[in-house]
Structure 1
Amino acid sequence: MRTDVHTHTTFSDGSALSAMIEAAEAAGLDGLGLTDHCILTEDAFGRHETYDLDETYERRRERIDTARATTDLTLYDAAEVSYVPGDADRIREFLATADFEYSIGSVHFAGDYDYTSDAQYVDSAAGVRRDAVERYYDTVVDLVEADLFDVLGHLDLPERLETLRGVSRPSDYDRVAAALADSRTVPELNAGRVNDALGRPHPDPSMLSRFADHGVGFVLGTDSHRPEEVTTRVPTLRDRIARSAIDCLEIDAVLA
């Protein structure tokens, strides 16, 4: 079986791309999805100002095309796009224009809630935290039903925050699993925080059986922004797959 993973990094120059390829080769991968962040929506959290793939993807594509001649890896020219319901039409138009080999859709913020930082939840009451998490899953289900993306990233991103961890409920996962079962979109098993204090891939491994019950498979994502993260996270993903009942899918099968 092929092992393809998605990474997230900013290729400011060709050496950054080369380093990521070398790390993927060292990890024994067959394919590498190059999925820089892409945020089309102006937001109150400054993420749109930080990530500019919508303006630079053509230059990045040239680097990827050049790099293909230097490796036996299958390189995928892809993107992780932040999903905002009100911008669905704009996202669809951009994806059609950019014509990536595949796209990941993720919810990083929804309304007034940011799911990438603990800061706004430190002093929040339990009800506010639950409202934030419920809004997150509402938006994830909306993302799946919008039928914009090949892959759903960060299936339960709030679980990566210490302040929101454990606020998600089994019913939240059931809603997402049911939506995915009726969709072409496939979720990723993401290893983005396996080396920090939380120490586990997400979605929450204890909830994986809920997706298996719906016949939902997963693709693998390291969420690596640096080469060394590829080599440390890939073994964790392989171990997780070996010890779970979920189906691990190749990205080519998802795109077929």
Structure 2
Amino acid sequence: MIIRPGEGPRRKRGDFMFINLFDSHTHSDNSNDGHHSIMFMCEKAVEKDISGICVTDHCELRTWAQEKYELRIRQSVFEAAKARRVFNGKLAVMAGVELGDVLYDPALTDKVLASFKFDMVMVSQHNTVQGEDIYYCDFGDWSPRDIDRYLEWYFRYLLDVAKLDKFDVLGHLTYPVRYLTGEHKIPVNLSRYDDIIDAILKTTARNGRAIEINTSGLWQKLGDTMPPLKYVKRYRELGGEYITLGSDAHAADRIGDGIAAGMQMLIDAGFTAFTFYKERQPLPFKII
């Protein structure tokens, strides 16, 4: 599908009105927590007047063998390619991946990156240092010191990932607040980690990589994007050029949710374009 910025009718989402809505973070049933097939996701995206999606099914490298991620990702890439042909002219469909624990086994990380033809590689960190997914953590039992140590470790881990420079997009930078604040109502002063976050953003910008505005928090208990506007502005101040928008949809009816609000946030941060990836290359789209 040829993607031409500016084509198509103007689409309204809530109080925001934009054209060319692209969702760069979606999960199919090839993710263990996804609910719908890629074909069904694409049907819903067309119904919602989305111009393009990138399927970024999970690939947690710490549990690569146990969770049979090689089979899952191979199927995801295959189905995305099939959907691209079926929906040609209606929807741009890209094959991506969301890699987790990329520093756990560097050789395996390299193998995965070399084995699949991805349009976009997003990296995220969902696990604690012990390898537990924070979705299952009962942060209510953690002391303030425990939380501080975890967040210090989390952001330093992402800094090492940024220095590794083998990805296209750094996903949901402030992910832990989805659970700490959103689910457990524990207030977090992220300013305590601004020096490390600055280093992450500066390294990502210097390497010509993107960060993501993850909009899932807007319709979840958190009530904000990940990262919030403050860090989107700071990324631009540090020379950042590329930003993707992602709903983090795990079900078809959530595709595109919050994307228009994310585009408004980009404008508020001083950006004039967002990014969509094809064949590991950033494609800028003017926000209009």
Please give the range of the TM-score, normalised by the shorter of the 2 chains: 0.7 to 0.9
The equivalent residue for 2:28 is: 9
Larger mean CA deviation between 234-243 and 140-149 belongs to 234-243
Match of 2:62 among 34, 41, 56: 41
The equivalent residue for 1:91 is: 109
Offset of 1:29 from its aligned partner? Answer: 2.4
Larger mean CA deviation between 70-79 and 134-143 belongs to 70-79
The runs of 5 or more residues in structure 2 that have no matched partner are 6-19, 283-288
Alignment of 1:103-114 (within 5 A): 103-112=121-130, 114=132
**Could you tell me how far apart the structure 2 residues matched to 1:113 and 1:4 are?**
32
Alignment of 1:159-238 (within 5 A): 159-161=177-179, 162=181, 163=184, 165-169=187-191, 170-216=194-240, 217-238=242-263
**Could you tell me how far apart the structure 1 residues matched to 2:218 and 2:122 are?**
20
Match of 1:21 among 10, 35, 42: 42
Task: Return closer, same or farther for 1:24/1:114 CA change in 2, 3 Å cut-off.
Answer: same
The equivalent residue for 2:12 is: none
- What CA deviation, in whole Å up to 9, does each residue of 1:203-226 have, x standing for no partner? 022332211111213111110011
**Could you tell me how far apart the structure 2 residues matched to 1:95 and 1:251 are?**
16
The equivalent residue for 1:249 is: 275
Q: TM-score, normalised by structure 1?
A: 0.86
8 Å Cα contact 2:165/2:207 also seen in 1: yes
Aligned-partner SS, 1:59: helix
Task: Return closer, same or farther for 1:36/1:78 CA change in 2, 3 Å cut-off.
Answer: same
Offset of 1:253 from its aligned partner? Answer: 9.7
The equivalent residue for 2:52 is: 31
The equivalent residue for 1:124 is: 142
Aligned-partner SS, 2:216: coil
Instruction: Give the superposed CA RMSD.
Output: 2.7
The equivalent residue for 2:78 is: 62
Aligned-partner SS, 2:218: coil
Larger mean CA deviation between 217-226 and 157-166 belongs to 157-166
**Could you tell me how far apart the structure 1 residues matched to 2:274 and 2:167 are?**
18
Amino acid at match of 2:259: V
The equivalent residue for 2:13 is: none
Offset of 1:113 from its aligned partner? Answer: 6.5
Q: TM-score, normalised by structure 2?
A: 0.77
Larger helix fraction of residues? 1
Task: Return closer, same or farther for 1:135/1:123 CA change in 2, 3 Å cut-off.
Answer: same
**Could you tell me how far apart the structure 1 residues matched to 2:274 and 2:92 are?**
18
Identity over aligned pairs, percent: 20
Q: Aligned residue pairs: how many?
A: 251
8 Å Cα contact 1:27/1:234 also seen in 2: no
The runs of 5 or more residues in structure 1 that have no matched partner are none
